[in-house]
Amino acid sequence: MAVYTEVSDEALAAFLALYDIGEAVSFKGIAEGVENSNFLLRTTKGQFILTLYEKRVNATDLPFFVGLMEHLSSRGVTCPQPVRNREGAALGTLAGRPAAIVTFLDGVWLRRPSVRHCAEVGEAMATMHLAGADFPLRRANALSVAGWPPLLAAAAARADTVAPRLAEESAAELAFVEAHWPAGLPSGVIHADLFNDNVFFLGERLSGLIDFYFACNDAFAYDLAICLSAWCFEPDADFNVSKGRALISGYERVRRLEAAEVEALPVLARGAALRFMLTRLVDWLNVPPGAKVMPKNPLEYRDKLRFHQRVRSAADYGLDR
């Protein structure tokens, strides 16, 4: 979440007039995150999130995201629900951007998740994977392996200003991942961005998943690999194997990993870390002037990638078979 596009009071009032959710009482930009412009909207009838879609979000993908949230909710996954206007449309245009209003979820995201929280995330992710099995729409993962060379090309000239030899290190890792990336793994709808700030908790219990704007069809184990980096490292960049074991065990309580997924997990984790290092690097080097956004440090994922490069099997992540 971030704010790249400002919305005037007049434009907001005209947009809300298309809906049956009351008039605006308060409207505040949300500065966390890096992808879209997000606002906390309070009206005379409740609280909502208003999103203006920016940057890497393709407008033709929006029906997939909207439909997926509605589909998952109908299958018991707690996630925001698109609010349809009086004409029945879930998407509109505001300040020159595609825009949508979704329901507000109670809960907070955790900066220091516990082992118990990681288990909850694993279970919720597997539940989402199964719930999406009969979702009829498809969306390719635009930020899978084929999307990483253009990211590196966009950042390579200035990468070494962020850290010495970062361009060389990134290129070598990309070559390795391209040569070893697995094919034919069990696949379906994945979240692809299930970071701490996209999972809400009430106490120890997970209360909902948000921000499905990278959701796509890809390998289920790749989603799990993303979460190993997002949830199981400590602030000093040490991997917490207890958290890794809890995440994987929580996942397997709902959906057991196949042997090929277990074998592929280390290279999937390397690819996931490379992907987020590269997108963060591009964002770090290209913050638009005036944007209310806090770019995330790509070196966090360089350090996580270095750990994954030392991993020899899924047992190093805590998988106990």
- The pLDDT confidence band at residue 5, using thresholds 50, 70 and 90, is confident
Residue 2 pLDDT exceeds 70: no
Asked if 115 and 246 count as a contact pair (C-beta separation under 8 A), the reply is yes
Residue 4 pLDDT exceeds 80: no
| Residue boundaries of the structural domains of the chain | 9-103, 115-317
pLDDT at 79: 97
CA distance 160 to 155: 9
- The pLDDT confidence band at residue 290, using thresholds 50, 70 and 90, is low
Residue 197 sits at φ, ψ, to 5 deg, of -80, 5
Q: Please state whether 315 falls in left (phi above 0), alpha (psi between -120 and 50) or beta.
A: alpha
Asked if 193 and 101 count as a contact pair (C-beta separation under 8 A), the reply is no
Residue 247 sits at φ, ψ, to 5 deg, of -60, -50
Q: Is 279 exposed, middle or buried (0-12, 13-18, 19+ CB in 10 A)?
A: buried
Please give the structure tokens belonging to residue 319: 């998988």
Q: Please state whether 246 falls in left (phi above 0), alpha (psi between -120 and 50) or beta.
A: alpha
Share of the chain above pLDDT 70, in %: 96
Asked if 207 and 242 count as a contact pair (C-beta separation under 8 A), the reply is no
Q: What is the pTM of this model?
A: 0.92
CA distance 104 to 144: 30
Q: In what order do the strands lie in the sheet with 92-94?
A: 24-29, 37-43, 46-52, 97-103, 92-94
Mean pLDDT of 6-22: 95
Q: Which stretches of 185-258 are DSSP H helices? A: 220-231, 241-252
Asked if 276 and 283 count as a contact pair (C-beta separation under 8 A), the reply is no
pLDDT at 295: 79
In sequence order, which residues have a C-beta less than 8 Å from that of residue 183 and are 6 or more positions away? Answer: none
Residue type, 69: M
Q: List the CATH code of the domain at 115-317.
A: 3.90.1200.10
pLDDT in tens, 239-276: 999 999 999 999 999 999 999 999 999 999 999 999 99
pLDDT in tens, 179-200: 999 999 999 999 999 999 999 9
3-state SS assignment for residue 135: coil
Residue 17 pLDDT exceeds 80: yes
- The pLDDT confidence band at residue 3, using thresholds 50, 70 and 90, is low
Residue 33 pLDDT exceeds 70: no
pLDDT in tens, 77-118: 999 999 999 999 999 999 999 999 999 999 999 999 999 999
pLDDT in tens, 128-183: 999 999 999 999 999 999 999 999 999 999 999 999 999 999 999 999 999 999 99
pLDDT at 1: 41
The CATH homologous superfamily for domain 9-103 is Phosphorylase Kinase; domain 1 (3.30.200.20)
pLDDT at 65: 95
Work out the number of other CB atoms within 10 angstroms of the CB of residue 165: 10
